[in-house]
Amino acid sequence: MAEQTPDPKRFLEGSFAPVSEEITAFDLPVTGQVPAELTGRYLRNGPNPMGLDDPDYHWFLGSGMVHGVRLRDGRAEWYRNRWVRSKAVSQAHHEPWPAGPVHEGMDFAANTHIIWHGGRTLATVEAGPLPYGLTDELETVGPCDFDGTLPGGFAAHTKLDRATGELHAIAYFWAWDHVQHVVVDAAGRVAKTTDIPVPDGPMMHDFALTGRYIVLLDLPVTFSLDAVAAHKELPYVWNPDHRSRVGLLPRDGSAGPRWFEVPPCWVFHCLNAYDDGEQVVVDLCQYDQSFDPSTLWNAHGPVSLDRWTIDPAAGRVTRQRLDERGQEFPRVDDRIISRPHRYGYSAMIGEVTRAITPTGDFADDAFTNALLRHDLSAGTVQVRQFARDAVVGEAVFAPRSADAAEDDGYVMAFAHNPDRGASDLIILAAQDFTGPPVATVHLPARIPLGFHGSWIPDR
Ligand SMILES: [Fe+2]
């Protein structure tokens, strides 16, 4: 396919446009009623470059800014947004850097996810840098190497096994001849690392966890010195010479990974995975063909929700399409990670869809700003539509109580409110997904489209 000419401002305009101020606002106006059982913080990370003058800006490379809303006693107590204080961000604010460990000189304002584990709120990112710890009110504590127990960099995506309290991650770094499985114990220290040899330096944005296995996605997007030399926005490109495969690494350490070939494709995100007898089921958002994250514009769509069933006895992977709709940011109820799920939530985001289609044009159905609720047992999908300019990002599930059933709770997301020119926190009842929101929290500012977040209940 011929290269399209990318719009250099694509990720600096419209719903992607960064904000320039850090805001603290209290007692936010609410339409509806914040459920009293939601006591905690909804936090979301995303790139927010400090300037608009970088002609090679890529969405993946902006300094991380965390947006958070605190809910308590049926009220929306506060909204805050804060840049993660890397050294560069600190200097730009004329503040001392909250110094700490740095892996291979790669200090970066982690921009991809935000999680809570082992007593820390952590902004995370992949490909080498360390996470940054934040206070409950989003001020930067400093870089985190888990009290000196992490040997290398960390990862954007992690999976918490609620049964063991262990947090799993797959770290990758361009100069390594392996990727690294990292297990962080419940106290927040690295308990185990396992190096897994892989050729070519693949990008491994996400992975999956089952009761027995780490599921590794070794797909043909790899580090490229040519891309570095050519000043591509990202040094990771589609590599047709790299074998496309999925690996099962036994969690008990009894063996190395066993690999299974899959047709060349790309996956950013897994919904969830689980053991099914001797087989392993992985639900994920799959880009069918070649995918070049260095530009995003030249990627081939579409992306759909698919199920990969890995059969170790037969030595093969069976792929099944679950939903054709273009969607990303798949999430399950976090409590169910690594065990069989029935429900999943994902986002259809018009502006992201446009950014990743080859022409930059919208398909007719790609204007869609919508959240999806999948009932994978019934094979049904509910579409929660938002208005044309009401761009909505990733949705996160919050259970009604710690022991509530799967899907018995709320789905939260930031959505742009075009009438106010600012964002709302939308809180939907998962079991009334297309009904009116339970609560709409009106925030004082616009929140740029970003990446991932978490509901962090008070402990
Ligand atoms: Fe991600």
pLDDT value at 32 more than 50: yes
Gap from CA of 452 to ligand 1 centroid (Å): 7
Gap from CA of 329 to ligand 1 centroid (Å): 7
Gap from CA of 208 to ligand 1 centroid (Å): 12
| pLDDT grade for 359, boundaries at 50, 70 and 90 | low
Structural contact between residues 302 and 288, judged by C-beta atoms closer than 8 angstroms: yes
pLDDT of residue 97: 97
Gap from CA of 310 to ligand 1 centroid (Å): 23
Strand partners, 423: 416
Number of Cα atoms under 13 Å in the Cβ half of residue 5: 0
Per-chain mean pLDDT for the chain: 92
| pLDDT grade for 1, boundaries at 50, 70 and 90 | very low
pLDDT over 70 percentage in the chain = 92
| pLDDT grade for 397, boundaries at 50, 70 and 90 | very high
**pLDDT (tens digit per residue) in 411-453:** 999 999 999 999 999 999 999 999 999 999 999 999 999 999 9
pLDDT of residue 452: 98
pLDDT of residue 289: 75
From CA 94, how far away is CA 78, in angstroms rounded?
Answer: 26
Gap from CA of 206 to ligand 1 centroid (Å): 7
280 vs 57, higher pLDDT: 280
For range 63-71, the mean pLDDT = 98
Gap from CA of 322 to ligand 1 centroid (Å): 20
pLDDT value at 3 more than 50: no
Where residue 290 falls (left for φ over 0; alpha for ψ -120 to 50; beta otherwise) is beta
Structural contact between residues 83 and 134, judged by C-beta atoms closer than 8 angstroms: no
The full length of the chain comes to 459
From CA 257, how far away is CA 254, in angstroms rounded?
Answer: 10
Element (H, E) at 229: helix 225-229
**pLDDT (tens digit per residue) in 186-195:** 999 999 999 9
**pLDDT (tens digit per residue) in 117-159:** 999 999 999 999 999 999 999 999 999 999 999 999 999 999 9
- Of 44-48, 114-118, 258-262, 324-328, which gets the smallest average pLDDT? 324-328
pLDDT value at 2 more than 50: no
Element (H, E) at 92: helix 87-92
φ, ψ of residue 415 in degrees (nearest 5): -130, 140
For range 268-275, the mean pLDDT = 98
From CA 311, how far away is CA 308, in angstroms rounded?
Answer: 10
φ, ψ of residue 61 in degrees (nearest 5): -110, 5
pLDDT value at 301 more than 70: no
What is the DSSP pairing of strand 178-184 with strand 190-197?
Answer: antiparallel
pLDDT of residue 300: 54
Number of Cα atoms under 13 Å in the Cβ half of residue 426: 29
Structural contact between residues 407 and 400, judged by C-beta atoms closer than 8 angstroms: no
Gap from CA of 158 to ligand 1 centroid (Å): 10
pLDDT value at 363 more than 70: no
The two structure tokens encoding residue 75: 């009220």
pLDDT of residue 274: 98
Gap from CA of 33 to ligand 1 centroid (Å): 31
DSSP-assigned letter for residue 191: E
From CA 400, how far away is CA 14, in angstroms rounded?
Answer: 35
| pLDDT grade for 173, boundaries at 50, 70 and 90 | very high
The two structure tokens encoding residue 315: 């030595």
Structural contact between residues 200 and 219, judged by C-beta atoms closer than 8 angstroms: no
pLDDT over 90 percentage in the chain = 81
Gap from CA of 31 to ligand 1 centroid (Å): 30
pLDDT of residue 12: 83
From CA 246, how far away is CA 156, in angstroms rounded?
Answer: 19
From CA 268, how far away is CA 270, in angstroms rounded?
Answer: 7
- pTM exceeds 0.85 for this model: yes
Gap from CA of 112 to ligand 1 centroid (Å): 7
- Of 4-13, 79-88, 281-290, 363-372, which gets the smallest average pLDDT? 4-13
**pLDDT (tens digit per residue) in 220-250:** 999 999 988 888 778 999 999 999 999 999 9
| pLDDT grade for 296, boundaries at 50, 70 and 90 | low
The two structure tokens encoding residue 139: 């001020």
The two structure tokens encoding residue 406: 């799967």
The two structure tokens encoding residue 404: 């509530």
Gap from CA of 328 to ligand 1 centroid (Å): 9
Q: What is the largest CA-CA distance in the chain?
A: 60
Structural contact between residues 36 and 410, judged by C-beta atoms closer than 8 angstroms: no
331: Cβ–Cβ under 8 A, 6 or more apart, which residues?
Answer: 271, 344, 345, 346, 394, 395, 396, 397
Element (H, E) at 350: helix 350-356
Closest of 251, 280, 275, 396 to residue 334, by C-alpha: 396
